[in-house]
Amino acid sequence: MRFTDELRQKADPIWKASFDHPFVQGLGDSTLPLDRFRYYVLQDAYYLSHFAKTQALAAAKADSLEVTNSMAKHVQGTYEAELDLHRTFMKQLNISEKDQQSFEPAPTAYAYTSHMYRASQFGQLGDVIAAILPCYWLYAEIGEQLKDKTPKEPVYQTWIQAYHSDWFMTLVKEQIDRLDQLAETASEKEKERWTDLFLKSSQYEYLFWEMAYTLEIWPMDAYRHIAVTN
């Protein structure tokens, strides 16, 4: 069994929770309230901007120019494809420049990106790949599960098509293969660390759906809102 197969097996209960989450299910059957998706788009654009920087840090940690070049292409792909997709969503959802300027990351989005930066700061290439791989891989599996769905909401259909595409699957496979290659010469201690990072990121992926579905805000912001309304 490949190292990534072991990771996928260990993460299966967490991933199943993501598959069953009402946010994900709502994308497929259009039961997801549009304000939840609008919130998600803003939070995910923030996440992806830091995801791209994490990819760049992984490129800098690579031992070979070939891997550095490959990771640099992943950075470019995040910018050109995924962030461009979000810019399209922002237009469709009437998210203004003012909305973007006043945006503040939610606790979960902030914590997840901080988790990735921690892996980049204190780890090596394998640590970074392990931390960012669930984002790639889980989205690909969700895209596969929802591929035959025909939601009435056009932005949901566009989202599904983006993550069930040959282009995206190529990126996912590259990162899976890269981590397996690194695992071939890694110590047991390194693989234990990578497993922990992978599982934590899988937990954060679930929390990201929950964050968007509940329109998560910072606790004291909620407290101030209650104080004002009372």
Q: What amino acid positions are annotated as catalytic residues?
A: 135, 205
- Report the C-alpha gap between 7 and 191 in whole angstroms: 10
Cα-based torsion angle of the residue sequence 90, 87, 143, 17 in order, rounded to the nearest 10 degrees: -60
DSSP string for 54-83: HHHHHHHH-SSHHHHHHHHHHHHHIIIIIH
Q: Which residues neighbour 224 within 8 Å (Cβ) at sequence distance 6 or greater? A: none
Largest Cα–Cα separation, the chain: 61
Helix 125-146, helix 166-183: angle, nearest 10: 140
